[in-house]
Amino acid sequence: MISFQQVEKRIGDASIIKGLNLEIHAGELFVLIGPSGCGKTTTMKMINRLIEPTAGRIEINGEDIFKTDPVELRRSIGYVIQQIALFPHMTIGENVALVPKLKKMERSQYEKKVDELLDMVGLDPKVFKNRYPAELSGGQQQRVGVIRAMAADPPIILMDEPFSALDPISREQLQDEFVRLQKTINKTIVFVTHDMDEAIKIADRICLMNDGTVVQLDTPDVLLQNPANEFVVNFIGAKRLRKVKELHPATSKKAALPKWSIS
């Protein structure tokens, strides 16, 4: 669906992305993860041309994205950012309907869609549609941020650490809802995060990056059971790997303690 071919990005002398080759499949939830400065956000922003690569080729469905109009391209790709970024001077309804309006869709066409989407994330349209973002909690605002990206029904959605600005409880909630949502909407989602727990919870495949290159690209299970090298082990963390071993007793010698025992 989305393919990166020998993509490079240099800013001055610094090499941000080094010869990146990636293949993101249709309908999968693809997580880009890595330490700060590893190039994960740069990689994502190259998909909707917010950042232009220095060299290489990026294709969506076999089409070179640098031959398309960036504005049209962006309207066909949903975009959610970390800082929520709902427009404070527009109502919730206006925020969600923004891309359909930019695409000059008929009001009757998107009005129903907006209601459906609000319902889908548990915000009653009758109550919330005419409110302003400031009247909503952080968790509610980010729910709106997520459905705003879906309003024009784009096949691809990019999400840049969408839940990291939220408190732990709303974050958990939104992650759960999001996994459920992904199963029903079946879009290709490119999701950037630095939180391994989040990645494991939601990803179909995880792409671990460091220093502008891909270190390991696998499903969460494979990543946890067969980390490719020292860096992956360190990034996942010893604690999480131990937990995985406990869940797979074949590799663990320790017997499970009975429930009533004193530990």
Partner 1 sequence: MDALIGILGVFVTYWRQLLAFTGEHLFMSASAILIAIVVGVPLAVWMTRNQRIAFVIQTTINAIQTIPTISLLLIIMIFLGLGYGTAIVALALYSLLPIVQNTYAGLENVDKNLTEAGTGMGMTKLQLLTKVKIPLALPIILTGIRVASVVSIGAATMATFVGAGGLGEMIMRGIVTTDDQKVLAGAIPAALLVILVDLILGKIEKRANFRMQAARAQK
Q: Give me the residues that bind partner 1 (CB under 8 A), please.
A: 48, 50, 71-76, 79, 81, 83-85, 87-89, 98-99, 102-103, 132-135, 148-149, 158
Type of residue numbered 197: D
Task: For the CB of residue 18, give the shortest distance to partner 1 in the complex, in Å.
Answer: 25
**HSE (CB half, 13 Å, CA atoms) of 58?**
23
CA distances for 20 relative to 6, 103, 110, angstroms: 5, 32, 38
Task: For the CB of residue 205, give the shortest distance to partner 1 in the complex, in Å.
Answer: 23
Q: How far is it, in rounded angstroms, from Cα 122 to Cα 257?
A: 41
Query: For partner 1, which is the closer residue by CB, 73 or 222?
Result: 73
3-state secondary structure of 116: helix
Does the CA dihedral 164-169-172-175 come out positive or negative?
A: negative
Task: For the CB of residue 138, give the shortest distance to partner 1 in the complex, in Å.
Answer: 9
Query: For partner 1, which is the closer residue by CB, 80 or 215?
Result: 80
Query: For partner 1, which is the closer residue by CB, 96 or 223?
Result: 96
Task: For the CB of residue 85, give the shortest distance to partner 1 in the complex, in Å.
Answer: 4
Task: For the CB of residue 3, give the shortest distance to partner 1 in the complex, in Å.
Answer: 21
Query: For partner 1, which is the closer residue by CB, 9 or 49?
Result: 49
Q: How far is it, in rounded angstroms, from Cα 227 to Cα 12?
A: 34
Query: For partner 1, which is the closer residue by CB, 103 or 205?
Result: 103
Structure tokens, 236 = 């996942």
| Cβ atoms of residues 178 and 146 within 8 Å | yes
**E-strand spans in 61-212?**
63-64, 77-80, 156-160, 188-193, 205-210
Task: For the CB of residue 75, give the shortest distance to partner 1 in the complex, in Å.
Answer: 3
Query: For partner 1, which is the closer residue by CB, 4 or 79?
Result: 79
